[in-house]
């Protein structure tokens, strides 16, 4: 667990996280990898984890009728993937596809939700860290929509 704790501690998303919270988060963590072209998750599936990207990159995509998959953002090392685990019904609202080999830390969502419910300070800390990501992803999606569906003059 020591190596996993170090990786979580050093990931930019958890910079400055209190030691007691770091231990709780690490207790929900495991190493994972995704080959190029494979999906970290698909829209509509159960949002049962989020990922700290350590190596590689992934495209966040929405599928649109008549156009197929449209990437609205690319995430890479030092970033996170997956915010749908925070809000019921805990279903993914977009796809995440590995563009190359991705190595990540998977954080078990149910485990972390339970720990956050038991320790509201941890839950508040997670919300403070995830809200900027959610707002940024919403903004990226909006810009992509303007690009794809922009008005014609």
Report the C-alpha gap between 134 and 130 in whole angstroms: 6
Per-residue pLDDT reduced to its tens digit, 124-138: 999 999 888 878 767
The answer on pLDDT for 144 being more than 70 is: no
Burial of 102 (0-12, 13-18, 19+ CB in 10 A): buried
Report the C-alpha gap between 73 and 60 in whole angstroms: 5
Per-residue pLDDT reduced to its tens digit, 27-52: 999 999 999 999 999 999 999 999 99
User: Model's pTM, two decimal places?
Assistant: 0.85
Q: Which of 8-12, 84-88, 123-127, 145-149 has the lowest mean pLDDT?
A: 145-149
List CB contacts of 74: < 8 A, sequence separation 6 or more: 57, 58, 59, 60, 99
> Is residue 89 reached through a cis peptide bond, with omega within 30 degrees of 0 on the bond before it?
yes
- Residue 109: per-residue pLDDT: 95
If you average pLDDT over residues 12-25, what whole number do you get?
93
- Residue 153: per-residue pLDDT: 47
């Amino acid at each position: 667990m020591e190596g996993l704790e170090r990786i979580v501690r050093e990931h930019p998303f958890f910079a400055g996280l209190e030691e007691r919270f770091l231990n709780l988060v690490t207790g929900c963590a495991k190493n994972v990898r995704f080959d190029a072209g494979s999906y970290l998750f698909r829209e509509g599936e159960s949002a049962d984890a989020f990922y700290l990207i350590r190596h590689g990159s992934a495209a966040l995509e929405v599928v649109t009728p008549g156009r197929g998959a449209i990437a609205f953002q690319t995430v890479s090392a030092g970033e996170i993937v997956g915010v749908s685990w925070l809000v019921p019904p805990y279903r993914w609202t977009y796809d995440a596809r590995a563009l190359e080999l991705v190595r990540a830390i998977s954080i078990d969502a149910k485990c972390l939700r339970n720990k956050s419910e038991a320790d509201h300070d941890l839950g508040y800390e997670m919300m403070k860290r995830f809200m900027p990501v959610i707002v940024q992803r919403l903004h990226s999606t909006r810009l992509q929509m303007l690009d794809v569906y922009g008005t014609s003059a």
